[in-house]
């Protein structure tokens, strides 16, 4: 039954909830590992490399691309966290994510290709606009052959108040949408001015189905296809931080996904 529910959710909607993926012990280990990441960022005032700091007003991504000072040591995102703190890799291995929920929907165990901390601090946590993760796949990652499945685990309550993930169900069936905005600069490139985070314009969003917010309790997760459109609202709560980690797995491209965007399909149901 679980296999059918997970597969149907990914196939039809592009995402599926995974209740209670991490038990209390795994949660404690993940939170401790996050603490080590925060220690690594504690003296930083400008984002660089895998560490993106939050910035009040303009948001962490824009401050990073514009090389502006951010809130000292306040992380908005960290990438490759399993390399910076190996405990993350150990926990995802112990949870059996690649050979468990990922394999049940992909038909084969996934290969871990990246991992992230997604911190959205209270008061200043910035929004993330509509986007598809496959739009940011590294060079050599062929969308005709490969897909990604992400398991996004809440470490604190993720609610509609503090910016839980929202998805557009079925949007993974329309292919890779054009993304507007500025391309993330490479190391050594000059800072951007008035940086606009890559996003899918509202006019291109598929119509006919409403966005679905996915609140999660600590230890629960959402697994989603790299083609599904998703976003998160800002966190303006006074004292409700939203912290999560995600593990990204490479899998063979599912037969139900489309890799090329078709405007007629994307605008159907207006």
Residue 118: how many CA atoms within 13 Å on its side-chain side? 29
Q: What is the pLDDT of residues 208-233, one digit of tens each?
A: 889 999 999 999 999 999 999 999 99
Strands 146-154 and 128-131 come out as: unpaired
Residue-wise pLDDT tens digits, 31-76: 999 999 999 999 999 999 899 999 999 999 999 999 999 999 999 9
Task: Please give the domain boundaries of the chain with CATH numbers for all domains.
Answer: 2-266 (2.60.120.620)
Question: What tens digit of pLDDT does each residue of 149-178 get?
Answer: 999 999 999 999 999 999 999 999 999 999
User: What's the gap between Cα 170 and its chain centre?
Assistant: 17
Neighbouring C-beta atoms of residue 204, cutoff 10 Å:
18
pLDDT digits (tens, 9 = 90+) for 78-116: 999 999 999 999 999 999 999 999 999 999 999 999 999
């Amino acid at each position: 039954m679980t296999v059918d529910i997970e597969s149907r959710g990914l196939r039809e909607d592009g995402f599926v909830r995974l209740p209670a993926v991490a038990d209390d012990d795994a949660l404690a280990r993940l939170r401790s590992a996050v603490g080590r990441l925060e220690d690594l960022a504690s003296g930083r005032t400008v984002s660089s490399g895998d560490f993106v700091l939050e910035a009040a007003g303009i948001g962490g991504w824009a401050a990073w691309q514009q090389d502006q000072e951010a809130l000292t040591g306040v992380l908005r995102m960290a990438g490759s966290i399993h390399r910076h703190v190996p405990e993350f890799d150990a926990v995802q291995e112990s949870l059996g994510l690649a050979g468990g929920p990922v394999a049940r929907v992909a038909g084969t165990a996934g290969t871990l290709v990246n991992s992230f901390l997604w911190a959205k601090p209270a008061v200043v946590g910035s929004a993330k606009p509509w986007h598809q993760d496959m739009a940011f796949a590294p060079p050599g990652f062929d969308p005709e052959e490969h897909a990604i499945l992400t398991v996004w685990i809440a470490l604190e309550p993720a609610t509609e108040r503090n910016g839980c993930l929202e998805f557009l169900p079925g949007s993974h069936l329309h292919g890779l949408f054009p993304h507007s905005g500025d391309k993330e600069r490479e190391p050594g490139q000059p800072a951007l001015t008035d940086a606009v985070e890559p996003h899918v314009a509202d006019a291109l969003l598929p119509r006919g189905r409403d966005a679905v917010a996915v609140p999660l309790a600590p230890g629960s997760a959402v697994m989603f296809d790299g083609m599904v459109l998703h976003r998160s609202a800002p966190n303006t709560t006074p004292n409700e931080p939203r912290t999560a980690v995600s593990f990204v797995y490479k899998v063979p491209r599912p037969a139900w996904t489309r890799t090329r965007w078709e405007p007629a399909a994307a605008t159907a149901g207006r």
